[in-house]
Amino acid sequence: DLIKLAMIRVDQALQNKYPEAQLLLQVHDELIVECPEEIASEVAELVSQEMQSVAQLKVPLVAEAKWGNNWYEAK
């Protein structure tokens, strides 16, 4: 379960580097994180890196991170 491992790693990384950011929700293969707008791009990069490095596979594991004022805007 890669998404479960990714959730654990993302949560730990957020607590260490951006404690003002919170992992709120997981929907299928998406993680929803809430953070101040000023650090949204840095948090998005951290989340993407943590998700992509959760396992070494024969094919690349790619994770996109987008942000917006709500889930709809982030798509």
Instruction: Please tell me the predicted confidence (pLDDT) of residue 71.
Output: 83
Q: What is the structure's pLDDT at 12? A: 97
How do residues 19-73 score in pLDDT, each as one tens digit? Answer: 999 999 999 989 999 999 999 999 999 999 999 999 999 999 999 999 999 888 8
Q: Assign residue 28 a region (left: φ > 0; alpha: ψ between -120 and 50; beta: otherwise).
A: left
Task: Give the number of other Cβ atoms within 10 Å of residue 14's Cβ.
Answer: 20
In this structure, how many other beta carbons lie within 10 angstroms of the beta carbon of residue 51? Answer: 23
The reported pLDDT for the residue numbered 39 is 97
Residue 72: the pLDDT is 87
